[in-house]
Structure 1
Amino acid sequence: MGTICFLYLWLATLLVAHGFRGTGPTNSSSDNIPICMENLDMCLHIYAADRETCGENWCQCCNRVEPHRAPMYAYCMQHYGKLTYIPKLPGIEYLDLKNNFLTSHNMTERFFTNITHITCLVLAQNKITWLDQSMFRNMKNLKCLSISGNPLQSQTIVRSMLSVPGLQALSAAECGLPMLNKNLFQNISSDVKYFWFDENSINTSTYDMTVFCPLTELQNLALRVCNIKYITSECPLKIESLDLYNNLMDNFPKTCMHNNESMFPNLTLLSLEKNRISSINEACLPKLRTLDLTANLMIRLTENYFDQKNFPVLTELDLKSNAGATPLIPNNTFSNPSLIRLSLDDNRISFDIHRAVETNAFANSRIMQLSLTGNTFKNIDNGRFVQLFGHLPLRKLKLSKNKLDLLALKTLWIFKNLELLDLERTEIASLPDGAFDSFRNLVHLDLSDNKITSISELTFNHETRQRLKVLFLDNNPFICSCDLMWFKEWFVSQPKVFLRHTDTENKYTCENIPGVNLTDFSMAKQACLLSQSLNVMIVFTCTLVIVTLTIASLVFRFRWNIRLALYEAFRGRGDVRMMRLLTDHFDYDVFVSYAKEDLPWVYQRLMPELESRLGLRLCVHERDFIPGNNIVDNIVESVQSSKKILMVFSKDFVRSQWCQFELTFCMNHVMNYDDVLLIVCVDDVASRDMTAAMMAVLKTTTYIQWEELDDAVDSFWGRLRLALHEIIPRGGALP
């Protein structure tokens, strides 16, 4: 029974995808036959409460489309040999006789006397070995017949059933039949449009589809689970839908005949789900609109894989659940302007890695429905996401079962026309105010199974709340408090917006109150008002603390800037400095602070100029510090024994802890003696690398930049001599 039900549901879905619509079955339209078969099965399972006993207590009857109207569906099944006749079933159009141990001995014209008016008959899962079309001679309305799951003895039975006048849908799956003889349907008259021949005993890897050529009305063919590896045909087939689910195909099926004539010139839907296909070399499918390659081995795609050369009007493409390694998607893989719907679900594609998905993989695409469920977005940032998908005119986007750690919800605002957005299981913890207000067409939003604890009243404005028809927020760890009371009221007033079709998925519970559902949670208004006042006080206090800490942090960060600014504003005219120069005894003229990596510049450039040419005595710690003394004592004594202090700033100076100590000590020293630091920069130091003290000095002190150009070198020494003029001995500066 499960196989037959699955077939019904599959074909109904298949036809709906091709535009077959309608509220229920009718006798006048053959296009509704598979929909009626779906209703027959769904009535049994979904509307059990609305079923009633009928047919002399042998059957259950109901109406799938309108449960409270006269029954249209009857189930006289699973009596296992006890049912020897069909009772009267007035008004019934669809009858299921599965699992009654019916045999060919029962199958006479007289056996069907009471049901000559029915439209759909299911004889599946019985013990029928032989049938003839004459048995159905009086069933003038019969459109749909299932003989699946019976041990048929001959292929000619299938020929006979296809010849039943007016029959438009036949299921002969699981009948133990071999591949049909190529000439079986020659000179046949058949009205059948839908034919299932799944799970039969196909004993060859190459399936010759020439047998179906005489069936001029055939539109939909299913050959699922038949061990088919290759297909061939001596003539073009007029079918519009072909299902080759779960076969053994290693390559895309052959669709080109001689002179590149199409083997399937009218084919609009091709299902190759669950095969072993790894590549597409050539295709001749001028009208194919839907291609299903789910659960294959499409690992390494190539540029223009699905372009208009192979698929001129391809509209829908399924590439879900490809086994093996993660697929690699190069540029222009989906550059087919006719492609509207694409599914890449459950492929573990790393969209954040450029070598896995190249930047222009979706270039020249006009995809409107994109499903990317179950892939990898963990490290994708806003810029990368926009590069990949920003140009697509999306209306439906599914990103469920992904980690969107770095992706901001506001990035999705580029898709102005979104109608459906699925963010289920994306580990979203909070929803910013107005997060979805920019989507003027959004009616379906799924945020279930995330980490959302609270929802602000500003998250969805009034217009958004009115527009949303579906908002799933189940299985989130809500913290039930006063802040969530507004949402509870919305939830209770419009349950159809928030609840799914099955109760098992509708889990809206309070994480902080075990066993309490959101609908049962309540709080007194007075308690919430008190909480609001307390919240205002807390916010004010926290704001004051934050402001105070911020000011303290800024003062600490810019302490040297502030100190130097105050020093410049209040220092004297240099009397203290001049008095010190005249009265104190100095061992050195200039104390030089530098990083050891800059020692070559000091030895080769600075010392020859200042000592040899200007006659100054420099304190260079590599040469002049007293061995054995504490390094701090050496620094303090040398600075105090020097008339001037010169700092050599560089990238290495920034990284040296001793240089930073010398800078801090020297800044305090010059402030105490009303002096200034002499700063030279021997290379470019990025401001982000400098310490606060260095930044403060460079902002308040004119420094001298070293450059290797001849004119620049002359200028450098001239400026340095000018800065040292107070201590240069007479006659020491050479012309």
Structure 2
Amino acid sequence: MTVFFCLLTLAASLIGSCHSSPHMIIANYSGQWLTTVPKNLSSWTNVLDLAFNFIHAVEQTDFSYMTELKVLNVSHNSINDLNCTVFAFNKKVEYIDLSNNKLKSIAGIFPETIRHLDISTNYFKTMSMCKGFGNLLQLEYLGIGATQVFRSDFEPIARLQLQYVLIELQGLTDYDNGSIAVLNTKNLHIILPSTATDPYNVLLDAVKTSEVLELSNVREWNLKSDPKKYMTDIAQNSIVTHLTLSHFVLDWHTVVNALQSIWHSSVESLRFYDLTLSRHIDKVQFDYSNTSMKALLIQKASTTEFQFKQSDLYSLFADMNIENLTITDANILFMVCPLESSPLKHINFANNALTDDVFQECATLKNLESLEMAQNKLEKVSKISSMTRNMPSLKHLDISHNLLHYDGEDCHWSNSITRLNMASCDLTNSIFKCLPRHLETLILKNNEVTHVPLGISQFENLKELNLASNRLSDLPDCSFFKGLVGLNVEYNQIFSPSQELIEECHSVHELRAGGNPFQCDCEIKNFITFQEKSPGKIIGWPDDYICEHPEDTKGTTLKDLYIPEIYCIVYLLIAVIVLPIVFLSILIFGLCKYFDGPWYLKMLWKWTRTKHRVQRKNKNYQELQRDLVYHAFVSYSEHDSSWVKHTLLPNLEKNNSSLQICQHERNFVPGKSIVENIIDCIDKSYKSIFVLSPNFVQSEWCHYELYFAHHKLYTENTDNLILILLEPIPQYLIPSKYYKLKTLMAQRTYLEWPKETRKHGLFWANLRASININVSNPETPSSLSNVTA
């Protein structure tokens, strides 16, 4: 209607008692069971909605302080009388709706600023109040009504240039011929009187007044004796080009007669809204010649009769020689094919019960350019394609909101189809195998598409692709659509568009990708960079592009997302973090190597472990101590005797006189064999020290001593061996018979004799800790024996 009517609709839809914005203050008190106008509203209120309450009167003080009031709706209340002085201080008011009250009279004059005034559906007896509207020179919309209509009441407003006039005449008792024809309006809407009054004179004036006419509320007219002549008279005097008949309940033959009269009138566009057909429906003769009709729209139609031949009804519409045919919300089951070549260019059969059989093998729709069959019962895509094969002019096809599926059969589409709407049909990726080749616009919104299959190459003309509300995990490969200009992938499952596919879509001028659960990590920066390089190309930026993951970024727009460069550039991360760590590690290792740190740590660990083991085992050695004489038996090669005599023994015995070391040269018992002395010394010693060197592995007696010590290690389960590596022993120098030595060196930790003097202290501490035990009643060697090792 008008801008002001839209403003009021907006106000009524808001919830809450009061809403404010920097530009407009809206107070919505609709349906609050109020009996009076609320007090103390903001003086800056622009829109006030008081509809659907029980207000019975309005006072001047109710609105006088609202100097900024522009829209006032007090419809559907119980107001009896009105004095227009209540609006004396509302110098900016433009919209007032007082319809559906109990007004009987109006005193005073409305503000001259009013552009929309509705006082229809009240208790006015006459329209004398219109005499005071002559000063409303800005008035565009006027809603009025009364039981008696006189020409003199309309004459004062005849000079007004009205855009829309609503006249409610449901209770009409008297009508002065020519009254409505006085009005000067572009759009006229008349709510016709009940069946008690013949509307002939009202209709005759109505069709002479405006080119755009709407007639409402017809319930079984009591027409004159000759209905055809009645309707013909009205049609012949008509200047109407756009006619709407709403809320009609008529029998089939009355509708056909009315339609036939209109067909030969000045009407170019006819719309039936909320039409109910009563009584029996049968086949009728209809003259389609000599008409100005171009479009017929039937919305929300039903019938009270169900036992009739369907073709009798549908053939009336199928053979119409018009360009536009719309039948929606009518529950039609099928539509017959026109008998002859049809001039139909646009057909809309949305929201019915059509099946795949509609228009199959129909060869008379050669001129059809647009076909809409959304919200029907279509199932097979292949059958729909074969239906279009005989429509060489078809460009636009809408089969959305159906239960469509593709069964793998061959598809035969019309080559002329450039726009195809298949939204909300539960289609999968396979549908790309069954699509018209020359599409320019493809709408697959709200389906089950997960990706565009590889190898799609037949869509060279495609300019717009809508894949919103599917299950895409990334952008489609735009290399399949060389001419693509607009791409919509809103509300899918795209976490982060890949850089390769972003680059492939460089030719896209409008990309809609909002509403996706974006993963705001380093990969999303490619998408943000794309937006920065091509501002305006991504539609809905930045409000519709919000982070979903990870949790700490949820709710943040991509525009406000901050990710440091160091987190995203691997080489920079290595340069800033990894390289310093590596350098520091090398430096520490170098310093430790230079100052023999590893050796000190190893020896300290050995000393600590040995001390712990000795302290733990000393508690259980009381019985063993009765058989021990020496702290340690030392085995070595004669070639290494100098080191043993001058370095090993002095450091163990002189610094700690309590240690008793068994050495073969001074402690072997004369008269016993060497083997007996070896076994006896090993048995009486807490530890056996072996000084290992290349010379050691060449000594036969050292082999015996090692064998017996190793045997004691395993038979008595004692930790009695101490290995001192005096010099490194290459593996190839160790004879095969020394397999026990190889095993011991591989499995047991040994002490290395350090060449550096500063390390000797820790070496001796570790060695003493290994043999530190209380040995009671040590034997004094009776004699020494020279044993050459």
Q: CA RMSD in A?
A: 4.4
How far apart are the structure 2 equivalents of 1:286 and 1:40? 42
How far apart are the structure 1 equivalents of 2:446 and 2:574? 36
How far apart are the structure 1 equivalents of 2:182 and 2:192? 25
C-alpha distance 138-331 of structure 1, shift in aligned 2 (>3 A):
closer
User: Post-superposition shift, 1:338?
Assistant: 0.8
Partner of residue 197, structure 1: 245
Q: Does 1:344 align with 2:399?
A: yes
Partner of residue 416, structure 2: 366
How far apart are the structure 2 equivalents of 1:154 and 1:92? 35
Return the letter of the residue paired with 1:292. N
C-alpha distance 329-111 of structure 1, shift in aligned 2 (>3 A):
same
C-alpha distance 88-385 of structure 1, shift in aligned 2 (>3 A):
same
C-alpha distance 109-527 of structure 1, shift in aligned 2 (>3 A):
farther
Unaligned runs of 5+ in 2: 13-23, 25-45, 48-68, 72-86, 96-111, 304-308, 578-789
Q: Does 1:171 align with 2:209?
A: no
User: Aligned to 1:247, which of 301, 310, 319?
Assistant: 301
Return the letter of the residue paired with 1:453. F
Asked whether the equivalents of residues 178 and 203 of structure 1 are also in contact (C-alpha less than 8 Å), the reply is no
How far apart are the structure 1 equivalents of 2:393 and 2:238? 35
C-alpha distance 445-126 of structure 1, shift in aligned 2 (>3 A):
farther
- CA deviations on 1:88-146 (whole Å, 9 max, x unpaired) are 5766473142xx6x313366543462463324223166756366662244434x22101
Return the letter of the residue paired with 1:332. S
How far apart are the structure 1 equivalents of 2:403 and 2:329? 18
Higher strand content, 1 or 2? 2
Asked whether the equivalents of residues 193 and 199 of structure 2 are also in contact (C-alpha less than 8 Å), the reply is no
Counterpart of 1:197 in 2: which secondary structure? strand
How far apart are the structure 2 equivalents of 1:191 and 1:47? 37
Asked whether the equivalents of residues 295 and 323 of structure 1 are also in contact (C-alpha less than 8 Å), the reply is no
How far apart are the structure 1 equivalents of 2:269 and 2:424? 32
How far apart are the structure 2 equivalents of 1:116 and 1:159? 22
Return the letter of the residue paired with 2:296. L
Partner of residue 435, structure 2: 389
- CA deviations on 1:178-230 (whole Å, 9 max, x unpaired) are 49743322233111011111221224487314554365211111123222366
User: Post-superposition shift, 1:520?
Assistant: 5.9
Superposed, which structure 2 residues align to 1:297-446 within 5 Å?
297-301=353-357, 304-307=360-363, 309=364, 311-323=365-377, 329=383, 332-335=386-389, 336-351=391-406, 353-354=407-408, 358-362=409-413, 364-378=414-428, 380=430, 385-386=432-433, 388-391=434-437, 393-405=438-450, 407-408=452-453, 411=456, 413-431=457-475, 435-436=477-478, 439=481, 441-446=483-488
How far apart are the structure 2 equivalents of 1:360 and 1:154? 57
How far apart are the structure 2 equivalents of 1:281 and 1:138? 46
How far apart are the structure 1 equivalents of 2:192 and 2:549? 50
TM-score (norm 1): 0.54
Partner of residue 675, structure 2: none
Asked whether the equivalents of residues 320 and 346 of structure 1 are also in contact (C-alpha less than 8 Å), the reply is yes
How far apart are the structure 2 equivalents of 1:360 and 1:520? 45
Partner of residue 662, structure 1: none
C-alpha distance 108-517 of structure 1, shift in aligned 2 (>3 A):
farther
Superposed, which structure 2 residues align to 1:181-196 within 5 Å?
181-187=227-233, 188-196=236-244
Q: Does 1:224 align with 2:273?
A: yes
Asked whether the equivalents of residues 233 and 263 of structure 1 are also in contact (C-alpha less than 8 Å), the reply is no
TM-score (norm 2): 0.51
Partner of residue 619, structure 2: none
- CA deviations on 1:540-561 (whole Å, 9 max, x unpaired) are xxxxxxxxxxxxxxxxxxxxxx
Asked whether the equivalents of residues 183 and 211 of structure 1 are also in contact (C-alpha less than 8 Å), the reply is no
User: Post-superposition shift, 1:276?
Assistant: 2.3
How far apart are the structure 2 equivalents of 1:74 and 1:409? 60
User: Post-superposition shift, 1:168?
Assistant: 0.5
- CA deviations on 1:216-259 (whole Å, 9 max, x unpaired) are 211111123222366845422621111122324784665768xx
User: Post-superposition shift, 1:464?
Assistant: 3.3
User: Aligned to 1:517, which of 533, 536, 556?
Assistant: 556
C-alpha distance 441-263 of structure 1, shift in aligned 2 (>3 A):
same
Asked whether the equivalents of residues 272 and 294 of structure 1 are also in contact (C-alpha less than 8 Å), the reply is yes
Return the letter of the residue paired with 2:472. I
Counterpart of 2:524 in 1: which secondary structure? helix
Asked whether the equivalents of residues 268 and 295 of structure 2 are also in contact (C-alpha less than 8 Å), the reply is yes
User: Post-superposition shift, 1:266?
Assistant: 3.4
Partner of residue 75, structure 1: 116
Asked whether the equivalents of residues 372 and 400 of structure 1 are also in contact (C-alpha less than 8 Å), the reply is yes
C-alpha distance 280-81 of structure 1, shift in aligned 2 (>3 A):
closer
Partner of residue 139, structure 1: 183
Q: Does 1:481 align with 2:532?
A: no
Q: Give the count of matched residue pairs.
A: 466
Asked whether the equivalents of residues 404 and 425 of structure 2 are also in contact (C-alpha less than 8 Å), the reply is yes
Partner of residue 499, structure 1: 540
Superposed, which structure 2 residues align to 1:74-153 within 5 Å?
74-77=115-118, 81=122, 84-85=129-130, 87=133, 92=138, 94-97=140-143, 102-105=145-148, 108-111=151-154, 113-114=156-157, 116-123=159-166, 127=170, 129=172, 134-140=178-184, 142-148=185-191, 151=194, 153=197
Q: Which has the larger radius of gyration?
A: 2
Unaligned runs of 5+ in 1: 1-36, 63-70, 539-735
C-alpha distance 137-183 of structure 1, shift in aligned 2 (>3 A):
closer
User: Post-superposition shift, 1:334?
Assistant: 0.8
Asked whether the equivalents of residues 201 and 226 of structure 1 are also in contact (C-alpha less than 8 Å), the reply is yes
Counterpart of 2:178 in 1: which secondary structure? helix
Asked whether the equivalents of residues 300 and 328 of structure 1 are also in contact (C-alpha less than 8 Å), the reply is no
C-alpha distance 222-520 of structure 1, shift in aligned 2 (>3 A):
same
Partner of residue 325, structure 2: 269
Superposed, which structure 2 residues align to 1:674-713 within 5 Å?
none
Asked whether the equivalents of residues 331 and 351 of structure 2 are also in contact (C-alpha less than 8 Å), the reply is yes
Q: Does 1:456 align with 2:498?
A: yes
User: Post-superposition shift, 1:402?
Assistant: 1.4
Asked whether the equivalents of residues 178 and 201 of structure 1 are also in contact (C-alpha less than 8 Å), the reply is no
Counterpart of 1:329 in 2: which secondary structure? helix
How far apart are the structure 1 equivalents of 2:346 and 2:334? 18
C-alpha distance 193-158 of structure 1, shift in aligned 2 (>3 A):
farther
How far apart are the structure 1 equivalents of 2:575 and 2:302? 68
C-alpha distance 415-255 of structure 1, shift in aligned 2 (>3 A):
same
Percent identity over paired residues: 15
- CA deviations on 1:574-612 (whole Å, 9 max, x unpaired) are xxxxxxxxxxxxxxxxxxxxxxxxxxxxxxxxxxxxxxx
Asked whether the equivalents of residues 209 and 231 of structure 1 are also in contact (C-alpha less than 8 Å), the reply is no
Return the letter of the residue paired with 2:230. L
Counterpart of 1:190 in 2: which secondary structure? coil
Counterpart of 1:460 in 2: which secondary structure? helix
Superposed, which structure 2 residues align to 1:519-534 within 5 Å?
519=558, 521-530=560-569, 533=572
Partner of residue 344, structure 2: 288
Counterpart of 2:420 in 1: which secondary structure? strand
Asked whether the equivalents of residues 121 and 144 of structure 1 are also in contact (C-alpha less than 8 Å), the reply is yes
How far apart are the structure 1 equivalents of 2:576 and 2:229? 89
How far apart are the structure 1 equivalents of 2:242 and 2:348? 19
Asked whether the equivalents of residues 301 and 327 of structure 1 are also in contact (C-alpha less than 8 Å), the reply is no
C-alpha distance 114-404 of structure 1, shift in aligned 2 (>3 A):
same
Return the letter of the residue paired with 1:478. F
Asked whether the equivalents of residues 170 and 195 of structure 1 are also in contact (C-alpha less than 8 Å), the reply is yes
Return the letter of the residue paired with 1:523. Y
